[in-house]
Structure 1
Amino acid sequence: MTEHEVGPGAYGVGIAADGAVWTSLVPGGELVRLDPDGRSARIELDSPQSRPMVLTSGTDGDLWFSRGDGFLGHIDHAGTISSHPLTTSATPYGICAGPEQTLWYTLVDGDRVGRMTADGHAEEFPVPAGSMPSLLSAGADGTLWLTLNQANAVGTLSLTGALTTYELPTADGAPVGICASPDGAWFAEIGAGQIGHIGIDGAIEEFPLPDRSSKPHAVATTSDGGCWATLWASSSAVRLDRQGRIVDEVHFTTGGEPHGVAIAADGSAWVALQAGSLAHIAAG
Protein backbone atom coordinates (compact mmCIF):
# COMPACT_ATOMS: atom_id res chain seq x y z
CA MET A 1 0.00 0.00 0.00
CA THR A 2 1.27 3.47 -0.89
CA GLU A 3 -0.13 6.90 -0.04
CA HIS A 4 0.00 9.95 -2.31
CA GLU A 5 -0.38 13.38 -0.69
CA VAL A 6 -3.20 15.38 -2.29
CA GLY A 7 -4.31 17.89 0.35
CA PRO A 8 -6.73 17.88 3.29
CA GLY A 9 -10.37 16.96 2.89
CA ALA A 10 -10.04 14.13 0.32
CA TYR A 11 -13.42 12.40 0.15
CA GLY A 12 -14.62 10.80 -3.09
CA VAL A 13 -12.67 8.70 -5.59
CA GLY A 14 -13.23 8.30 -9.32
CA ILE A 15 -11.11 6.56 -11.95
CA ALA A 16 -11.16 8.03 -15.44
CA ALA A 17 -10.97 6.09 -18.70
CA ASP A 18 -7.29 7.04 -19.08
CA GLY A 19 -6.42 5.54 -15.68
CA ALA A 20 -6.11 8.85 -13.86
CA VAL A 21 -7.50 8.86 -10.33
CA TRP A 22 -9.54 11.85 -9.19
CA THR A 23 -10.50 12.88 -5.69
CA SER A 24 -12.57 15.70 -4.22
CA LEU A 25 -11.23 18.12 -1.60
CA VAL A 26 -14.44 19.13 0.13
CA PRO A 27 -13.39 22.12 2.31
CA GLY A 28 -11.61 24.11 -0.41
CA GLY A 29 -13.86 23.44 -3.40
CA GLU A 30 -11.13 21.63 -5.34
CA LEU A 31 -10.45 18.43 -7.25
CA VAL A 32 -7.14 16.59 -7.58
CA ARG A 33 -6.13 14.50 -10.58
CA LEU A 34 -3.42 11.89 -10.00
CA ASP A 35 -1.95 10.60 -13.27
CA PRO A 36 -0.73 7.00 -13.69
CA ASP A 37 2.87 8.28 -13.61
CA GLY A 38 2.33 9.77 -10.15
CA ARG A 39 2.09 13.42 -11.13
CA SER A 40 -0.81 15.32 -9.59
CA ALA A 41 -2.70 18.50 -10.41
CA ARG A 42 -4.93 20.46 -8.04
CA ILE A 43 -7.90 22.14 -9.72
CA GLU A 44 -10.03 24.89 -8.22
CA LEU A 45 -13.73 24.80 -9.02
CA ASP A 46 -15.81 27.88 -9.79
CA SER A 47 -16.65 28.42 -6.12
CA PRO A 48 -14.68 27.70 -2.94
CA GLN A 49 -18.05 26.85 -1.34
CA SER A 50 -18.89 24.21 -3.98
CA ARG A 51 -18.06 21.30 -1.59
CA PRO A 52 -17.35 18.55 -4.17
CA MET A 53 -18.07 15.13 -2.69
CA VAL A 54 -18.85 11.79 -4.39
CA LEU A 55 -17.39 10.92 -7.82
CA THR A 56 -18.58 8.30 -10.28
CA SER A 57 -17.80 7.08 -13.80
CA GLY A 58 -20.28 8.05 -16.49
CA THR A 59 -21.62 5.84 -19.24
CA ASP A 60 -18.75 6.63 -21.64
CA GLY A 61 -15.85 6.73 -19.16
CA ASP A 62 -16.15 10.40 -18.23
CA LEU A 63 -16.61 11.42 -14.58
CA TRP A 64 -19.39 13.12 -12.63
CA PHE A 65 -19.38 14.42 -9.07
CA SER A 66 -21.87 15.82 -6.59
CA ARG A 67 -21.51 19.36 -5.23
CA GLY A 68 -22.89 20.46 -1.90
CA ASP A 69 -23.99 23.78 -3.38
CA GLY A 70 -26.76 22.22 -5.46
CA PHE A 71 -24.98 21.33 -8.71
CA LEU A 72 -23.65 18.22 -10.41
CA GLY A 73 -20.14 18.51 -11.80
CA HIS A 74 -18.87 16.88 -14.99
CA ILE A 75 -15.32 16.06 -16.13
CA ASP A 76 -15.07 15.19 -19.81
CA HIS A 77 -12.34 13.16 -21.50
CA ALA A 78 -10.25 16.27 -22.07
CA GLY A 79 -10.39 17.16 -18.37
CA THR A 80 -12.75 20.09 -18.88
CA ILE A 81 -14.99 20.65 -15.86
CA SER A 82 -18.55 21.96 -16.05
CA SER A 83 -21.52 22.18 -13.68
CA HIS A 84 -25.21 21.44 -14.09
CA PRO A 85 -28.01 22.90 -11.92
CA LEU A 86 -30.69 20.70 -10.36
CA THR A 87 -34.45 21.10 -10.04
CA THR A 88 -34.62 21.23 -6.23
CA SER A 89 -32.57 23.51 -3.99
CA ALA A 90 -31.00 20.79 -1.82
CA THR A 91 -27.70 18.97 -1.36
CA PRO A 92 -26.81 16.27 -3.93
CA TYR A 93 -24.66 13.51 -2.47
CA GLY A 94 -24.82 10.01 -3.96
CA ILE A 95 -24.42 9.76 -7.72
CA CYS A 96 -24.18 6.95 -10.27
CA ALA A 97 -24.62 6.24 -13.97
CA GLY A 98 -27.82 4.31 -14.69
CA PRO A 99 -29.47 2.59 -17.65
CA GLU A 100 -30.25 4.38 -20.92
CA GLN A 101 -27.49 6.99 -20.46
CA THR A 102 -29.06 8.43 -17.33
CA LEU A 103 -27.31 9.84 -14.28
CA TRP A 104 -28.96 9.32 -10.89
CA TYR A 105 -28.37 11.30 -7.70
CA THR A 106 -29.69 11.63 -4.16
CA LEU A 107 -30.67 14.82 -2.37
CA VAL A 108 -29.53 13.88 1.09
CA ASP A 109 -31.43 16.68 2.84
CA GLY A 110 -34.31 16.90 0.37
CA ASP A 111 -36.04 13.51 0.62
CA ARG A 112 -35.68 13.04 -3.11
CA VAL A 113 -33.73 11.14 -5.74
CA GLY A 114 -33.15 12.51 -9.20
CA ARG A 115 -32.45 11.39 -12.74
CA MET A 116 -30.61 13.44 -15.35
CA THR A 117 -30.87 12.45 -19.00
CA ALA A 118 -28.12 12.72 -21.59
CA ASP A 119 -29.45 16.10 -22.75
CA GLY A 120 -29.22 17.55 -19.22
CA HIS A 121 -32.91 17.34 -18.29
CA ALA A 122 -33.36 16.59 -14.56
CA GLU A 123 -36.41 14.96 -12.99
CA GLU A 124 -36.79 14.21 -9.28
CA PHE A 125 -38.84 11.72 -7.27
CA PRO A 126 -39.82 11.71 -3.57
CA VAL A 127 -38.67 9.16 -1.01
CA PRO A 128 -40.07 8.79 2.54
CA ALA A 129 -39.71 11.93 4.62
CA GLY A 130 -36.62 11.95 6.81
CA SER A 131 -35.17 8.80 5.23
CA MET A 132 -31.93 10.56 4.16
CA PRO A 133 -31.18 8.93 0.79
CA SER A 134 -27.41 8.54 0.68
CA LEU A 135 -25.40 6.57 -1.89
CA LEU A 136 -26.44 4.91 -5.15
CA SER A 137 -25.14 2.13 -7.39
CA ALA A 138 -26.36 0.55 -10.64
CA GLY A 139 -26.07 -3.16 -11.34
CA ALA A 140 -25.22 -4.73 -14.67
CA ASP A 141 -28.87 -5.81 -14.94
CA GLY A 142 -30.01 -2.19 -14.65
CA THR A 143 -31.13 -2.43 -11.01
CA LEU A 144 -30.58 0.84 -9.15
CA TRP A 145 -29.67 0.34 -5.49
CA LEU A 146 -29.58 3.04 -2.80
CA THR A 147 -29.22 3.37 0.94
CA LEU A 148 -31.76 5.18 3.12
CA ASN A 149 -29.63 6.07 6.10
CA GLN A 150 -32.26 7.29 8.56
CA ALA A 151 -34.86 4.73 7.47
CA ASN A 152 -32.37 1.91 8.23
CA ALA A 153 -33.10 0.43 4.84
CA VAL A 154 -31.75 -0.41 1.40
CA GLY A 155 -33.91 0.27 -1.64
CA THR A 156 -34.23 -0.31 -5.35
CA LEU A 157 -35.49 2.25 -7.86
CA SER A 158 -37.33 1.73 -11.11
CA LEU A 159 -36.57 3.96 -14.09
CA THR A 160 -39.70 5.96 -13.23
CA GLY A 161 -38.51 6.56 -9.66
CA ALA A 162 -40.70 3.95 -7.95
CA LEU A 163 -38.99 2.86 -4.72
CA THR A 164 -38.99 -0.57 -3.08
CA THR A 165 -37.42 -0.70 0.39
CA TYR A 166 -35.91 -3.50 2.47
CA GLU A 167 -35.50 -2.82 6.18
CA LEU A 168 -32.23 -4.02 7.72
CA PRO A 169 -32.42 -6.83 10.31
CA THR A 170 -30.20 -4.85 12.71
CA ALA A 171 -31.68 -1.72 14.26
CA ASP A 172 -29.82 1.57 13.75
CA GLY A 173 -27.53 0.14 11.08
CA ALA A 174 -27.62 3.53 9.30
CA PRO A 175 -26.41 2.30 5.89
CA VAL A 176 -24.33 4.71 3.80
CA GLY A 177 -22.10 3.14 1.15
CA ILE A 178 -23.51 0.72 -1.42
CA CYS A 179 -22.12 -0.98 -4.53
CA ALA A 180 -23.84 -3.37 -6.91
CA SER A 181 -22.48 -6.92 -7.13
CA PRO A 182 -23.20 -9.73 -9.61
CA ASP A 183 -25.96 -11.09 -7.36
CA GLY A 184 -27.22 -7.96 -5.60
CA ALA A 185 -25.34 -5.24 -3.73
CA TRP A 186 -22.90 -4.74 -0.84
CA PHE A 187 -23.55 -1.98 1.69
CA ALA A 188 -21.91 -0.50 4.80
CA GLU A 189 -23.76 -0.16 8.12
CA ILE A 190 -21.91 2.75 9.68
CA GLY A 191 -24.07 2.66 12.81
CA ALA A 192 -23.76 -1.08 13.54
CA GLY A 193 -20.18 -1.84 12.48
CA GLN A 194 -21.30 -4.33 9.87
CA ILE A 195 -21.02 -4.97 6.15
CA GLY A 196 -24.20 -6.21 4.51
CA HIS A 197 -25.20 -7.86 1.26
CA ILE A 198 -28.64 -7.82 -0.30
CA GLY A 199 -29.57 -10.31 -2.98
CA ILE A 200 -31.62 -9.63 -6.07
CA ASP A 201 -34.49 -11.36 -4.25
CA GLY A 202 -34.20 -8.91 -1.33
CA ALA A 203 -32.59 -11.39 1.10
CA ILE A 204 -30.17 -9.57 3.42
CA GLU A 205 -27.00 -10.99 4.98
CA GLU A 206 -25.06 -9.05 7.63
CA PHE A 207 -21.41 -9.59 8.56
CA PRO A 208 -20.27 -8.01 11.85
CA LEU A 209 -16.77 -6.50 11.78
CA PRO A 210 -14.26 -7.36 14.53
CA ASP A 211 -14.38 -3.72 15.70
CA ARG A 212 -18.05 -2.78 15.83
CA SER A 213 -17.07 0.88 16.44
CA SER A 214 -15.00 1.13 13.22
CA LYS A 215 -17.78 2.99 11.32
CA PRO A 216 -17.65 1.40 7.85
CA HIS A 217 -18.43 4.07 5.28
CA ALA A 218 -17.94 3.10 1.63
CA VAL A 219 -17.81 -0.21 -0.27
CA ALA A 220 -16.58 -1.27 -3.71
CA THR A 221 -17.26 -4.67 -5.25
CA THR A 222 -14.27 -6.78 -6.32
CA SER A 223 -14.02 -9.07 -9.33
CA ASP A 224 -14.54 -12.20 -7.21
CA GLY A 225 -17.90 -10.95 -5.93
CA GLY A 226 -16.58 -9.72 -2.58
CA CYS A 227 -15.86 -6.12 -1.65
CA TRP A 228 -13.48 -3.60 -0.13
CA ALA A 229 -14.88 -1.46 2.68
CA THR A 230 -13.40 1.65 4.27
CA LEU A 231 -13.51 1.83 8.08
CA TRP A 232 -13.59 5.50 8.88
CA ALA A 233 -13.12 5.41 12.66
CA SER A 234 -10.31 2.83 12.70
CA SER A 235 -8.33 4.34 9.77
CA SER A 236 -8.31 1.05 7.88
CA ALA A 237 -9.91 -0.90 5.07
CA VAL A 238 -10.92 -4.54 4.81
CA ARG A 239 -11.60 -6.87 1.91
CA LEU A 240 -14.36 -9.43 2.28
CA ASP A 241 -15.00 -12.46 0.10
CA ARG A 242 -18.51 -13.31 -1.08
CA GLN A 243 -19.12 -15.30 2.11
CA GLY A 244 -18.40 -12.22 4.21
CA ARG A 245 -15.04 -13.43 5.52
CA ILE A 246 -12.28 -10.85 5.92
CA VAL A 247 -9.45 -11.92 3.63
CA ASP A 248 -7.32 -8.75 3.70
CA GLU A 249 -6.87 -5.73 5.96
CA VAL A 250 -4.90 -2.53 5.46
CA HIS A 251 -4.10 0.09 8.10
CA PHE A 252 -3.53 3.70 7.08
CA THR A 253 -1.81 6.51 8.93
CA THR A 254 -3.45 7.05 12.32
CA GLY A 255 -6.27 9.55 11.95
CA GLY A 256 -6.40 9.10 8.17
CA GLU A 257 -10.23 8.96 8.09
CA PRO A 258 -10.78 6.87 4.93
CA HIS A 259 -13.95 7.60 2.98
CA GLY A 260 -14.42 6.85 -0.74
CA VAL A 261 -13.05 3.73 -2.41
CA ALA A 262 -12.88 2.66 -6.07
CA ILE A 263 -11.51 -0.39 -7.88
CA ALA A 264 -9.17 0.13 -10.84
CA ALA A 265 -9.08 -1.98 -14.00
CA ASP A 266 -6.12 -3.98 -12.63
CA GLY A 267 -8.07 -4.92 -9.50
CA SER A 268 -6.22 -2.57 -7.18
CA ALA A 269 -8.15 -0.31 -4.81
CA TRP A 270 -7.90 3.46 -4.33
CA VAL A 271 -9.03 5.06 -1.07
CA ALA A 272 -9.48 8.76 -0.24
CA LEU A 273 -8.19 9.70 3.20
CA GLN A 274 -9.68 12.88 4.64
CA ALA A 275 -6.39 13.64 6.38
CA GLY A 276 -4.96 14.45 2.95
CA SER A 277 -3.94 11.52 0.78
CA LEU A 278 -4.96 8.94 -1.79
CA ALA A 279 -4.01 5.41 -0.79
CA HIS A 280 -3.32 2.76 -3.43
CA ILE A 281 -3.76 -0.87 -2.39
CA ALA A 282 -2.16 -3.22 -4.93
CA ALA A 283 -4.19 -6.16 -6.16
CA GLY A 284 -3.39 -9.27 -4.12
Structure 2
Amino acid sequence: MTSPSTGRITEHPVPGRGPYAIAAGPDQALWYTLEGSGEIGRLAPGGSPKAFHLAADCGPTIIAPGPDGALWFTESRANRIGRISVDGTVTEFGLRECGPYGITAGPDGAVWFTETTTDSIGRIATDGTVTEFPLPIAEAFPSAIVAGPDEALWFTMNRASAIGRIDLSGAVTLYELPTPDAAPVGITLGPDGALWFVEIAAGQIGRITVDGKISEHPLPDRGARPHAITAGTSDVLWFSEWGANRVGSITVDGVIDSVALPTPNSEPHGLTLGPDGALWVALEHGALARVVVAGE
Protein backbone atom coordinates (compact mmCIF):
# COMPACT_ATOMS: atom_id res chain seq x y z
CA MET A 1 0.00 0.00 0.00
CA THR A 2 1.28 3.44 -0.89
CA SER A 3 2.01 5.70 2.06
CA PRO A 4 0.22 9.06 1.69
CA SER A 5 2.59 11.96 2.16
CA THR A 6 2.53 15.75 2.21
CA GLY A 7 6.31 16.08 2.37
CA ARG A 8 6.10 16.92 6.07
CA ILE A 9 3.77 14.04 6.99
CA THR A 10 4.07 10.44 5.82
CA GLU A 11 1.50 7.78 6.72
CA HIS A 12 2.62 4.21 7.34
CA PRO A 13 -0.21 1.65 7.03
CA VAL A 14 -0.24 -1.01 9.75
CA PRO A 15 -2.12 -4.34 9.98
CA GLY A 16 -4.94 -4.68 12.49
CA ARG A 17 -7.85 -2.38 13.28
CA GLY A 18 -7.83 0.95 15.01
CA PRO A 19 -4.39 2.24 16.08
CA TYR A 20 -5.41 4.27 19.11
CA ALA A 21 -2.53 5.08 21.48
CA ILE A 22 1.21 5.10 20.81
CA ALA A 23 4.38 5.27 22.90
CA ALA A 24 8.12 5.20 22.32
CA GLY A 25 9.65 2.06 23.81
CA PRO A 26 13.10 1.48 25.32
CA ASP A 27 14.06 -0.51 22.20
CA GLN A 28 14.06 2.44 19.77
CA ALA A 29 10.65 1.40 18.42
CA LEU A 30 7.08 2.69 18.47
CA TRP A 31 4.52 0.58 20.35
CA TYR A 32 0.81 1.11 19.80
CA THR A 33 -2.57 -0.35 20.68
CA LEU A 34 -4.88 -1.81 18.05
CA GLU A 35 -8.13 -1.32 19.89
CA GLY A 36 -10.36 -2.78 17.19
CA SER A 37 -8.52 -6.08 16.72
CA GLY A 38 -7.16 -6.72 20.22
CA GLU A 39 -3.45 -6.43 19.43
CA ILE A 40 -0.33 -4.55 20.39
CA GLY A 41 1.75 -3.31 17.47
CA ARG A 42 5.42 -2.50 17.13
CA LEU A 43 7.15 -0.45 14.45
CA ALA A 44 10.82 0.47 14.40
CA PRO A 45 11.31 3.56 12.22
CA GLY A 46 12.41 2.34 8.80
CA GLY A 47 11.21 -1.21 9.50
CA SER A 48 8.03 -3.23 9.06
CA PRO A 49 5.15 -3.30 11.56
CA LYS A 50 4.54 -6.37 13.71
CA ALA A 51 1.46 -7.25 15.75
CA PHE A 52 1.21 -9.25 18.99
CA HIS A 53 -2.19 -10.84 19.50
CA LEU A 54 -4.31 -10.52 22.63
CA ALA A 55 -7.95 -11.50 23.10
CA ALA A 56 -9.87 -9.99 20.17
CA ASP A 57 -12.43 -8.24 22.37
CA CYS A 58 -10.13 -7.03 25.19
CA GLY A 59 -9.94 -3.42 23.98
CA PRO A 60 -6.29 -2.43 24.44
CA THR A 61 -6.41 1.31 24.97
CA ILE A 62 -3.53 3.38 26.35
CA ILE A 63 0.09 2.17 26.35
CA ALA A 64 3.11 3.63 28.14
CA PRO A 65 6.70 2.69 29.00
CA GLY A 66 6.92 1.04 32.40
CA PRO A 67 9.57 1.29 35.10
CA ASP A 68 10.92 -2.17 34.24
CA GLY A 69 11.93 -1.92 30.56
CA ALA A 70 8.56 -3.21 29.32
CA LEU A 71 5.43 -1.50 27.95
CA TRP A 72 2.27 -1.45 30.08
CA PHE A 73 -1.24 -0.99 28.71
CA THR A 74 -4.89 -0.95 29.73
CA GLU A 75 -7.50 -3.38 28.42
CA SER A 76 -10.66 -1.35 28.88
CA ARG A 77 -13.20 -3.97 27.83
CA ALA A 78 -11.50 -6.92 29.53
CA ASN A 79 -10.77 -5.00 32.77
CA ARG A 80 -7.11 -5.95 32.77
CA ILE A 81 -3.70 -4.34 32.88
CA GLY A 82 -1.26 -5.78 30.35
CA ARG A 83 2.51 -5.87 30.21
CA ILE A 84 4.47 -6.62 27.05
CA SER A 85 8.23 -7.05 27.03
CA VAL A 86 10.24 -5.85 24.06
CA ASP A 87 10.47 -9.47 22.83
CA GLY A 88 6.66 -9.65 22.69
CA THR A 89 5.98 -11.67 25.86
CA VAL A 90 2.61 -10.64 27.29
CA THR A 91 1.48 -10.84 30.92
CA GLU A 92 -2.01 -9.77 31.97
CA PHE A 93 -3.39 -8.84 35.39
CA GLY A 94 -7.10 -8.99 36.10
CA LEU A 95 -8.99 -6.15 37.79
CA ARG A 96 -12.51 -5.72 39.05
CA GLU A 97 -14.96 -4.29 36.50
CA CYS A 98 -13.60 -0.74 36.39
CA GLY A 99 -12.94 0.32 32.78
CA PRO A 100 -9.19 1.02 32.98
CA TYR A 101 -8.08 3.69 30.53
CA GLY A 102 -5.06 5.94 31.18
CA ILE A 103 -1.75 4.49 32.37
CA THR A 104 1.72 5.79 33.24
CA ALA A 105 4.86 4.89 35.14
CA GLY A 106 4.93 6.51 38.57
CA PRO A 107 7.87 8.00 40.47
CA ASP A 108 7.68 5.09 42.94
CA GLY A 109 8.60 2.26 40.54
CA ALA A 110 4.97 1.22 40.06
CA VAL A 111 2.43 1.78 37.27
CA TRP A 112 -0.61 3.99 37.88
CA PHE A 113 -3.87 3.90 35.94
CA THR A 114 -7.35 5.43 35.85
CA GLU A 115 -10.59 3.54 36.44
CA THR A 116 -13.26 5.29 34.38
CA THR A 117 -16.34 3.53 35.76
CA THR A 118 -15.45 3.36 39.46
CA ASP A 119 -14.11 6.89 40.06
CA SER A 120 -10.80 5.52 41.29
CA ILE A 121 -7.09 5.68 40.58
CA GLY A 122 -5.25 2.36 40.54
CA ARG A 123 -1.66 1.45 41.28
CA ILE A 124 -0.11 -1.82 40.14
CA ALA A 125 3.32 -2.95 41.27
CA THR A 126 5.50 -4.78 38.77
CA ASP A 127 4.62 -8.06 40.58
CA GLY A 128 0.93 -7.46 39.83
CA THR A 129 -0.19 -6.25 43.27
CA VAL A 130 -3.05 -3.76 42.81
CA THR A 131 -4.07 -0.93 45.14
CA GLU A 132 -7.03 1.34 44.44
CA PHE A 133 -7.69 4.87 45.67
CA PRO A 134 -11.26 6.20 45.44
CA LEU A 135 -11.80 9.78 44.30
CA PRO A 136 -13.81 12.19 46.49
CA ILE A 137 -16.25 12.82 43.63
CA ALA A 138 -18.83 10.74 41.77
CA GLU A 139 -19.15 10.22 38.00
CA ALA A 140 -15.87 12.02 37.33
CA PHE A 141 -14.73 9.60 34.58
CA PRO A 142 -10.96 9.85 35.25
CA SER A 143 -9.22 9.53 31.91
CA ALA A 144 -5.55 10.20 31.11
CA ILE A 145 -2.83 10.18 33.78
CA VAL A 146 0.82 11.25 33.86
CA ALA A 147 3.61 11.61 36.40
CA GLY A 148 4.22 15.20 37.42
CA PRO A 149 7.46 16.91 38.49
CA ASP A 150 6.35 16.85 42.14
CA GLU A 151 6.36 13.16 43.16
CA ALA A 152 2.67 12.91 42.31
CA LEU A 153 0.38 11.77 39.50
CA TRP A 154 -1.88 14.17 37.61
CA PHE A 155 -5.02 13.10 35.77
CA THR A 156 -8.00 14.46 33.86
CA MET A 157 -11.61 13.99 34.92
CA ASN A 158 -13.60 14.08 31.71
CA ARG A 159 -17.13 14.34 33.08
CA ALA A 160 -16.24 16.46 36.10
CA SER A 161 -14.32 18.98 33.94
CA ALA A 162 -11.50 18.97 36.46
CA ILE A 163 -7.86 18.04 36.91
CA GLY A 164 -6.79 15.77 39.75
CA ARG A 165 -3.56 15.25 41.65
CA ILE A 166 -2.83 12.14 43.68
CA ASP A 167 0.27 11.75 45.80
CA LEU A 168 1.98 8.45 46.50
CA SER A 169 -0.01 7.95 49.69
CA GLY A 170 -3.30 8.24 47.78
CA ALA A 171 -4.27 11.76 48.91
CA VAL A 172 -6.26 13.49 46.14
CA THR A 173 -6.59 17.19 45.31
CA LEU A 174 -9.14 18.38 42.75
CA TYR A 175 -8.93 21.48 40.55
CA GLU A 176 -12.09 22.56 38.75
CA LEU A 177 -11.57 24.01 35.27
CA PRO A 178 -12.67 27.59 34.55
CA THR A 179 -14.68 26.40 31.51
CA PRO A 180 -17.77 24.34 32.39
CA ASP A 181 -18.27 21.04 30.52
CA ALA A 182 -14.80 21.29 28.95
CA ALA A 183 -14.34 17.48 29.02
CA PRO A 184 -10.55 17.19 29.43
CA VAL A 185 -8.94 14.00 28.07
CA GLY A 186 -5.19 13.84 27.38
CA ILE A 187 -2.58 15.24 29.77
CA THR A 188 1.23 15.45 29.67
CA LEU A 189 4.15 17.03 31.48
CA GLY A 190 5.34 20.05 29.55
CA PRO A 191 8.91 21.30 29.07
CA ASP A 192 8.11 24.19 31.43
CA GLY A 193 7.35 21.93 34.39
CA ALA A 194 3.59 22.47 34.15
CA LEU A 195 0.92 19.93 33.18
CA TRP A 196 -0.75 20.52 29.82
CA PHE A 197 -4.07 18.98 28.82
CA VAL A 198 -6.70 19.05 26.10
CA GLU A 199 -10.36 20.03 26.48
CA ILE A 200 -12.16 18.01 23.84
CA ALA A 201 -15.60 19.60 24.21
CA ALA A 202 -14.40 23.18 24.67
CA GLY A 203 -11.80 23.08 21.89
CA GLN A 204 -9.04 24.39 24.15
CA ILE A 205 -5.59 23.52 25.43
CA GLY A 206 -5.17 23.89 29.19
CA ARG A 207 -2.17 24.34 31.46
CA ILE A 208 -1.98 23.80 35.21
CA THR A 209 1.00 24.50 37.43
CA VAL A 210 1.84 22.31 40.41
CA ASP A 211 0.35 24.95 42.70
CA GLY A 212 -2.99 24.66 40.87
CA LYS A 213 -2.96 27.78 38.70
CA ILE A 214 -4.92 27.09 35.48
CA SER A 215 -4.82 28.88 32.13
CA GLU A 216 -6.71 27.95 28.95
CA HIS A 217 -5.87 28.57 25.29
CA PRO A 218 -8.82 28.45 22.84
CA LEU A 219 -8.05 26.82 19.50
CA PRO A 220 -8.77 28.74 16.29
CA ASP A 221 -11.22 25.92 15.46
CA ARG A 222 -13.25 25.32 18.61
CA GLY A 223 -14.79 22.24 16.99
CA ALA A 224 -11.41 20.52 16.45
CA ARG A 225 -12.00 18.13 19.39
CA PRO A 226 -8.40 17.83 20.66
CA HIS A 227 -7.84 14.37 22.13
CA ALA A 228 -4.25 13.57 23.16
CA ILE A 229 -1.22 15.72 23.91
CA THR A 230 2.53 15.11 24.26
CA ALA A 231 5.67 17.14 24.78
CA GLY A 232 7.76 17.67 21.67
CA THR A 233 11.15 19.24 21.17
CA SER A 234 12.26 22.49 22.81
CA ASP A 235 9.28 24.55 24.01
CA VAL A 236 6.56 22.91 21.88
CA LEU A 237 3.76 20.50 22.72
CA TRP A 238 1.77 18.56 20.13
CA PHE A 239 -1.86 17.46 20.20
CA SER A 240 -4.25 15.54 17.96
CA GLU A 241 -7.33 17.27 16.54
CA TRP A 242 -9.64 14.31 16.21
CA GLY A 243 -12.58 16.30 14.86
CA ALA A 244 -10.56 18.32 12.33
CA ASN A 245 -8.17 15.69 10.89
CA ARG A 246 -5.16 17.71 11.96
CA VAL A 247 -2.17 17.67 14.28
CA GLY A 248 -1.76 20.84 16.29
CA SER A 249 1.10 22.41 18.22
CA ILE A 250 1.31 24.94 21.01
CA THR A 251 4.37 26.63 22.45
CA VAL A 252 4.75 27.20 26.17
CA ASP A 253 3.97 30.86 25.38
CA GLY A 254 0.61 29.85 23.89
CA VAL A 255 1.35 30.17 20.16
CA ILE A 256 -0.86 27.68 18.29
CA ASP A 257 -0.34 26.13 14.85
CA SER A 258 -1.62 23.04 13.03
CA VAL A 259 -1.00 20.86 10.00
CA ALA A 260 -3.59 18.85 8.06
CA LEU A 261 -3.24 15.09 7.68
CA PRO A 262 -3.05 13.80 4.09
CA THR A 263 -5.88 11.24 4.36
CA PRO A 264 -9.42 12.55 5.04
CA ASN A 265 -11.21 11.26 8.13
CA SER A 266 -8.12 9.49 9.47
CA GLU A 267 -9.18 10.01 13.12
CA PRO A 268 -5.93 10.98 14.87
CA HIS A 269 -5.69 9.94 18.50
CA GLY A 270 -2.52 9.16 20.48
CA LEU A 271 0.84 10.70 19.62
CA THR A 272 4.42 10.62 20.86
CA LEU A 273 7.88 11.87 20.01
CA GLY A 274 9.68 8.95 18.35
CA PRO A 275 13.26 7.72 18.70
CA ASP A 276 14.01 9.24 15.30
CA GLY A 277 13.14 12.76 16.45
CA ALA A 278 9.85 12.84 14.54
CA LEU A 279 6.35 13.03 15.94
CA TRP A 280 4.31 9.83 15.47
CA VAL A 281 0.52 9.81 15.51
CA ALA A 282 -1.91 6.86 15.73
CA LEU A 283 -4.61 7.13 13.05
CA GLU A 284 -7.69 4.99 13.57
CA HIS A 285 -8.20 4.52 9.84
CA GLY A 286 -5.25 2.11 9.92
CA ALA A 287 -1.92 3.89 9.88
CA LEU A 288 0.75 5.68 11.87
CA ALA A 289 1.64 9.18 10.70
CA ARG A 290 5.23 10.42 10.91
CA VAL A 291 5.42 14.20 11.21
CA VAL A 292 8.68 16.01 10.59
CA VAL A 293 9.17 18.55 13.36
CA ALA A 294 11.46 21.57 13.52
CA GLY A 295 15.05 20.63 14.19
CA GLU A 296 14.78 17.05 12.89
TM bin, normalised by shorter chain, reads: over 0.9
- Taking the aligned partners of 2:169 and 2:184, their CA distance within structure 1 comes to 24
Aligned equivalent of 1:256: 266
Tell me by how many angstroms 1:282 deviates. 1.9
In the alignment, which of 236, 240, 243 is matched to residue 226 of structure 1? 236
Return 184-193 or 15-24, whichever deviates more: 15-24
Matched, 1:55 2:68: no
- Taking the aligned partners of 2:88 and 2:52, their CA distance within structure 1 comes to 10
- Taking the aligned partners of 2:97 and 2:169, their CA distance within structure 1 comes to 21
Residue by residue over 1:103-141, the C-alpha shift from the partner in whole angstroms, topping out at 9 and shown as x without a partner, is: 000111111110112322100011111000000000244
Matched, 1:134 2:151: no
Tell me by how many angstroms 1:247 deviates. 4.2
Q: Structure 1 runs of 4+ off > 4 angstroms?
A: none
Aligned equivalent of 1:106: 114
Q: 1:204 to 1:252 in 2, by over 3 A?
A: farther
Structure 1: unaligned runs, 5 residues or longer = none
SS of 2:159's partner is: helix
Matched, 1:3 2:11: yes
- Taking the aligned partners of 1:248 and 1:190, their CA distance within structure 2 comes to 16
Q: Which amino acid aligns with 1:202?
A: G
In the alignment, which of 119, 127, 130 is matched to residue 127 of structure 2? 119
Matched, 1:157 2:159: no
- Taking the aligned partners of 1:101 and 1:252, their CA distance within structure 2 comes to 40
Tell me by how many angstroms 1:180 deviates. 1.4
Tell me by how many angstroms 1:226 deviates. 2.9
Aligned equivalent of 1:193: 203
- Taking the aligned partners of 1:197 and 1:178, their CA distance within structure 2 comes to 9
Whether the 8 Å CA contact 2:108–2:168 is kept in 1: the answer is no
TM-score normalized by the length of structure 1: 0.95
In the alignment, which of 26, 34, 40 is matched to residue 49 of structure 2? 40
Whether the 8 Å CA contact 1:232–1:258 is kept in 2: the answer is yes
- Taking the aligned partners of 1:232 and 1:246, their CA distance within structure 2 comes to 16
SS of 1:262's partner is: strand
Return 59-68 or 88-97, whichever deviates more: 59-68
Tell me by how many angstroms 1:266 deviates. 4.5
Q: 1:211 to 1:248 in 2, by over 3 A?
A: closer
Tell me by how many angstroms 1:159 deviates. 0.7
- Taking the aligned partners of 1:206 and 1:13, their CA distance within structure 2 comes to 26
- Taking the aligned partners of 1:165 and 1:110, their CA distance within structure 2 comes to 17
Tell me by how many angstroms 1:35 deviates. 2.0
Tell me by how many angstroms 1:97 deviates. 0.3
**Identical pairs, percent:** 41
Whether the 8 Å CA contact 2:149–2:193 is kept in 1: the answer is no
Whether the 8 Å CA contact 2:156–2:163 is kept in 1: the answer is yes
Return 193-202 or 29-38, whichever deviates more: 29-38
Matched, 1:241 2:218: no
Return 73-82 or 213-222, whichever deviates more: 73-82
Matched, 1:168 2:177: yes
Return 146-155 or 23-32, whichever deviates more: 23-32
**C-alpha root-mean-square deviation of aligned residues, in Å?**
1.4
Matched, 1:94 2:102: yes
Whether the 8 Å CA contact 1:11–1:23 is kept in 2: the answer is yes
Structure 2: unaligned runs, 5 residues or longer = 1-8
SS of 1:283's partner is: coil
- Taking the aligned partners of 2:214 and 2:149, their CA distance within structure 1 comes to 19
